[in-house]
C-alpha cells in the first residue's frame, strides 16, 4: 500500500480525462493538460499523447486523437483510499456529514481495517472546550449552514453573541472555517441591507440556536478578505533556536523573510487577518525577548502596553516574580 504512487499522479489523471472524451483534437489535449497539469506538464506529456512515440492508448486519424479503450476509464477505490475512508468514518466529527446508519453501511461496504485510529494520536495543545460534534442540534445547524454555503443562498441564523446577546438575522454564509487549535467550526458570513452586502462577520457554530434555509440567492460580495494592509514586521534572533521555532509556528501565514548573516537576525513580515490581531499579539508574546515587533505601530503598541503593565505589577512591592 503506497502513498507515493503513479496511480494518484496528475499525469494519470490527465490521461484519464482525455481518454474519457473518446475523440479529441490536439488543441483540446493541450487545454486539458494546461488546466490540470503542473506548469511544465505540457512539455512532457503532450508528446506522449500526440507524438510519434505516444502511449498505445491513443490512435490518431486526420488530427483527431481517439481512445483505444472499450469503456469509459474508471478504477475501484484502492486499499489506501478505503482504509483512509474507514479511518475518517471512525472520527466523531464524521457525524456532521453522515448519519450513523450510513457510516455503518459504508464501513461495511469498504470492508477493511482503518488506516489509523484517533487513539494513535494525541494533540497535547488542543483547547479543552471543542465543539459538541455528537449533539443533534449542532449537527442539524452545521448541515443547514453547509447546504447554504454550497447553494449560495441566504440562511436565517439565531446565535448567542460573545456578549451574551441573542442575534437573529439573514446571512449569506461564505465559508466554514475549522481550527484544529480551538477544535471549533466557525462560519464566515455577510449580512445585507437594501439587498446589498452590508457587513461581514464570523459566527461560532456552537453558539447557533436556530437555522432556516431560504430560497433567496443574493448578490455575492466581492472583496471578502480581511487581510491586514500592513504586515507585522518581526526581528527574530538566533537565540534559543528562535528562527526555526518562529518560522514553523507561523508557517500557516503568508510571510516573507530575510536573513542577515552578519547579525544573525531574521526579519519576517507576516500577513494576517485583522480579526486575529489579538491572538497574534499573544502568540508573539510567547516568544519573549528573542523576537521584537518592529511595526506596525498599533501592534508594537499592544506589545508595549502588556509589557508596561507587567512592569507596573513588578514594581509593586508585595509581588514576587
Contact letters (x/-) for other proteins, 104-143, by CB under 8 A?
Answer: --x--x--x--xx---xxxxxxxxxx-------------x
What is the footprint of other proteins within residues 61-80 (CB under 8 A)?
68-71, 73-80
Burial of residue 155 (CB within 10 Å: 0-12, 13-18, 19+) is: buried
Sheet holding 265-271, edge to edge: 254-260, 265-271, 232-236, 291-295
The distance of closest approach from Cβ of residue 214 to other proteins in the complex, given in angstroms and rounded to an integer, is: 18
Closest contact distance (angstroms) between CB of 57 and other proteins is: 6
Question: Which of 217, 288, 295, 298 touches other proteins (CB under 8 A)?
Answer: 288
The residue from 30, 48, 169, 238 that contacts other proteins (CB under 8 A) is: 48
* 25-28 long-range Cβ contacts below 8 angstroms, 24+ apart: 25/63, 25/64, 25/65, 26/50, 26/63, 26/65
Residues 189-218 touching other proteins, rule: CB under 8 A, are none
Q: Considering the complex, what minimum distance in angstroms separates the CB of residue 194 from other proteins?
A: 27
Residue 283 CA to residue 246 CA, distance in Å, equals: 10
Residue with smaller CB distance to other proteins, 103 or 156: 103
Residue 18 CB contacts under 8 Å (≥ 6 apart), including other chains: 24, 29, 32, 49, 58, 65, 67
Whole-number Å distance between alpha carbons of 295 and 299: 7
Residues 262-281: x/- map of binding to other proteins (CB under 8 A)?
----x----x-x--x-----
Q: How far apart are CA 271 and CA 231, in angstroms?
A: 5
Taking the least distance from each CB to other proteins, the nearer of 5 and 25 is 5
Shortest Cβ 36–other proteins spacing (Å)? 9
Number of residues that bind other proteins (CB under 8 A): 123
Cis omega before residue 253 (within 30°)? no
Closest to other proteins by CB, 64 vs 307, is 307
Q: Which of 133, 154, 153, 151 is nearest to 142 (CA)?
A: 133
Choices 25-33, 191-199, 208-216, 240-248 (CB under 8 A): range interacting with other proteins: 240-248
Out of 168, 254, 297, 298, the residue judged to bind other proteins by CB under 8 A: 254
Q: Which is nearer to other proteins, 2 or 166 (CB)?
A: 2
To other proteins, the closest distance from the beta carbon of 235 in angstroms equals 10
Alpha-carbon distance of 143 to 99, in angstroms, equals: 11
230 binds other proteins (CB under 8 A): no
Instruction: Evaluate whether 207 touches 142 at the Cβ level (below 8 Å).
Output: no
Q: Of the two residues 118 and 191, which places its CB atom closer to other proteins in the complex?
A: 118
Based on the shown chain and the rule CB under 8 A, indicate whether residue 165 belongs to the binding site for other proteins.
no
Residue 84 half-sphere exposure toward CB, CA atoms < 13 A: 8
Amino acid at each position: 500500500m503506497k502513498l507515493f504512487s503513479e496511480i494518484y499522479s496528475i499525469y494519470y489523471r490527465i490521461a484519464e480525462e482525455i481518454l474519457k472524451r473518446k475523440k479529441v483534437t490536439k488543441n483540446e489535449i493541450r487545454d486539458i493538460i494546461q488546466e490540470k497539469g503542473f506548469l511544465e506538464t505540457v512539455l512532457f506529456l503532450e508528446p506522449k499523447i500526440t507524438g510519434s512515440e505516444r502511449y498505445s492508448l491513443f490512435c490518431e486519424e486526420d488530427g483527431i486523437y481517439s481512445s483505444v479503450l472499450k469503456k469509459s476509464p474508471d478504477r475501484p477505490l484502492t486499499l489506501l483510499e478505503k482504509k483512509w475512508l474507514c479511518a475518517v468514518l471512525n472520527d466523531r466529527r464524521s457525524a456532521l456529514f453522515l448519519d450513523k446508519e450510513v457510516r455503518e453501511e459504508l464501513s461495511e461496504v469498504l470492508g477493511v481495517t482503518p488506516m489509523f485510529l484517533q487513539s494513535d494520536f494525541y494533540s497535547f495543545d488542543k483547547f479543552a472546550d471543542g465543539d459538541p460534534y455528537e449533539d443533534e442540534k449542532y449537527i442539524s445547524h452545521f448541515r443547514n449552514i453547509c447546504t447554504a454555503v454550497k447553494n449560495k443562498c441566504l440562511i436565517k441564523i439565531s446565535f448567542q453573541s460573545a456578549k451574551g446577546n441573542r442575534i437573529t438575522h439573514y446571512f449569506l454564509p461564505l465559508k466554514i472555517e475549522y481550527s484544529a487549535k480551538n477544535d471549533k467550526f466557525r462560519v464566515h458570513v455577510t449580512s445585507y441591507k437594501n439587498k446589498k452586502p452590508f457587513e461581514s462577520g464570523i459566527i461560532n457554530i456552537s453558539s447557533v440556536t436556530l437555522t432556516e434555509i431560504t430560497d433567496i440567492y443574493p448578490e455575492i460580495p466581492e472583496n471578502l478578505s480581511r487581510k491586514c494592509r500592513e504586515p507585522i514586521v518581526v526581528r527574530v534572533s538566533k537565540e534559543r533556536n528562535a528562527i526555526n521555532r518562529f518560522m514553523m509556528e507561523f508557517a500557516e501565514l503568508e510571510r516573507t523573510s530575510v536573513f542577515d548573516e552578519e547579525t544573525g537576525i531574521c526579519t519576517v513580515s507576516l500577513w494576517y487577518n485583522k480579526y486575529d490581531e489579538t491572538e497574534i499579539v499573544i502568540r508573539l508574546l510567547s516568544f519573549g525577548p528573542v523576537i521584537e515587533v518592529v511595526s506596525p505601530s498599533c501592534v508594537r503598541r499592544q506589545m508595549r502596553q502588556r509589557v508596561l503593565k507587567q512592569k507596573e505589577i513588578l514594581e509593586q512591592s508585595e509581588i514576587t516574580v
